[in-house]
Structure 1
Amino acid sequence: MVGRRCRGAALPLVTTLPKDLPADEIGSGLAGFWRALPREGRFLLSTVAVQHLGRGMTLPFTVIYLHEVRGFSLDTAGSIMALLALVAALAAAPMGALTDLLGARWMLIVAGVCQSLGAVALAFATSLPIAVLGAVLMGLSQSIGWSASNTFISALVRGPLRQRYFGVNFALLNLGIGAGGLIAGAFVDVARPVTFETIFLVDAVLVLIPGIWLLGPLRHVHARAEHPDDGSATASYATVLRLPGMRWVLLLALVTSFVGYGQLEAGIPAFAHGVAQVSTSVVGLAFAANTAVIVLLQFWVLQRIEGHRRTRVGLVMLGIWAVAWLALGLSGQLPGSLAAAVLVVAFLTLFGLGETLLQPTLPAITNDMAPDHLRGRVNAAQSTAFMAGGVLGPLVAGVLLERDLSTTFVLVVVAGLVVTAWLFLRLERIVSPAVNGLPVTATDEPSVH
């Protein structure tokens, strides 16, 4: 339990975390959600968009920068980015254990420092060792970020508030990344290296902003739980895998990443440009539409899914994604046409609508089933599974599209959606109604220290 006392007086605790409210007491709209949040939740949420603005500036242009500005070959630039992903995947498990041991607050501070130092290194990556150092530091940051962030959020809110928080957090994250990409796209110039150095240095500064809250108003929230006194559960990944439904959650994270996010930066752009033969400006417009849908509709979606089974919400998401992928497949049958361009934009618009359903549900299921003393490991395990899907997705897309098997590529993804639907139905039979998002009259979830 976390609380605040008035200075100089032994008064009762006035803030108890994590805060839980029935859905009908939260209030309507974004204003009602904001009022329902604890003070600590408002602090944390207030910087999400700004924190990710710098990442949005650098993410779309890192390979271009390394290749065209710093002179690395495309193979080398791609290997540097692959190293970043590899470090993130390999370090996720030990970082999750450290999150349980040290608390999510300190791990988030470490993640911010690593990201900042990595961005500075890449800003001045005039040699391969400096670029590799930057990638390693950023990979370490990513290995910490998912599990520590979700663990910290779960220390602040639970129940309906937790699900809404995850959704709003995702929308703000996309707002920051989308705005950053637009700003950098209008600013960077390969003929002027200083423009790229600037965006990496801006990222290095902005990513440290949450640390102000973590070292100040949020310093009392450690997001670290004590181990149960009865010694009934060892704090290990073996214990995590024995949690009811956990293996199904990991499979869901793997497959949804493979059919979804794993294709965003590789398979989808390659299909749109190489098979549907739409221009890069159309691809950019499609990604802008994706971001707009998430930012504009996320809270509306959150209100509509409140009180429904999260697994059924996942099935609705899969239906939307299936229509989206069929639209993308059809665009490949109409190459270079206006219809193909419309279908590509429609694909990423529908994909974004599906994201607004997925992001509040799967993290909420994961954290509602996690004991507090294992929460860092649970989130790290899900993060690792998600990153594995993000590695497999581009590999499969590259192999199939390189061999002109575009129809097979779409069919493989649709088959993955069917498998995901089966996994959601299996999970529904295992998890409790409370974990699945149905209203409960009381909860026995232990509090966090």
Structure 2
Amino acid sequence: MEVSPIGNNPEFVIKFYLPSALPSALRVLCGAKWPISFAFWRPMTTMQTPLKHYWQGMIFPRCGQCSMRMVGLHRCPMHPVFSGMMSCDNALIGTRGNLFRNSERMSRQRILCLGKFDGMHRGHLALLRRAAQYGAPTILRMTGMATVLGWIPRPPLVSEADRPRILSQWSAQLGHPIDVLRWPFAQLRHLHAQQFCQILAQDMHADVVVVGSDFRFGKDRQAGIEELCEEGRSVGIQVAVVPPELDEQVMISSTRIRSALAIGAVDEARRLYGRPHALCGRVVAGDGRGRTLGFPTANMGDVSNLVPAQGVYAAHAYLADGSRIKAAVNVGTAPTVATARESRVEAHLLDWSGDCYNQALRLDFIERIREERRFADRDDLMRQIEHDVQRVAIACDQRLEGES
């Protein structure tokens, strides 16, 4: 077992190997009834150590309810456990991604940006810009709302796999690292404004909270900016309110982006995002019809986010090795060469040859070239594809010139 202090604070990090009977061990270590908050990382068990897991815990004195003090998201397991913690009975609450990464994280000011951050668009970036005026921002994502409220499931605008890339770009723009925490909607939907702000202050140790002017919270969304400012002051939180980010005099929102993609307006979506709409998936085997036409395609499967309307698009394809390639993308059923086929995403990679099957693929949509339609015969189709490829090359070149 290793015990080491964190700076000059009366706090300790404990690292040790233990069998699964952790609760009993903690009683012995602490000499009290659950006066400890701890994080854990459990690697894959092996045949050699089937019962051993690696645990890292942190003991914090003076909890608000049983004389032990917790830092950040860590709370005494004797009391309600916040997202991201492992309680002493081995019940996982939330996700490991919510835990503090190091002691430096505990000492600096915490600035929280509240919202769903589902579309990661210019409006969200405006919140982070305001937060960055105070220091390194932390996104607090409200997640799981659709499931809790029984809404019809729909694909996300941004793939979870692509979020780190976007956050990295934003971090470079802001000059600060960006942390992300998750707050399950099921845990906050019935909170009153006072309870909501107390959690922000006591459990998350928020110093500054940044929200949009339309932010609503609390039980039945009854509370708004006025209540947040009032309750925030009572617990020592400064509230910063950011006005809406506008495009053509209309507020930017995830709903607007979805509406644009529903009609194939990827250029409008790009304006609202501040970047191209990116479709993420994996290259899977197709039926080989594109190759017989002289235009082989990479067929995208396992698509993890919202696909634009059917049509032909100019895009940049990014392969697993990081290479960027111009791509003519068809979203649809290919009615000229196939019948009764489900809609697919097929990308012809310009001036490229090779094997990319089973590799990750990202398509950044630049422009919609035309709608999908049925042609009289294969010759008409091939002539149209040749014309499409020319237009795609021009659109991609213009996009690159605009970036430079």
So what's the TM-score if we normalise by structure 2? 0.26
Higher RCO (CA-CA < 8 Å; seq separation 6+): 1
Q: Which has the higher strand share?
A: 2
Structure index of larger Rg: 2
Between structures 1 and 2, the one with greater helix share: 1
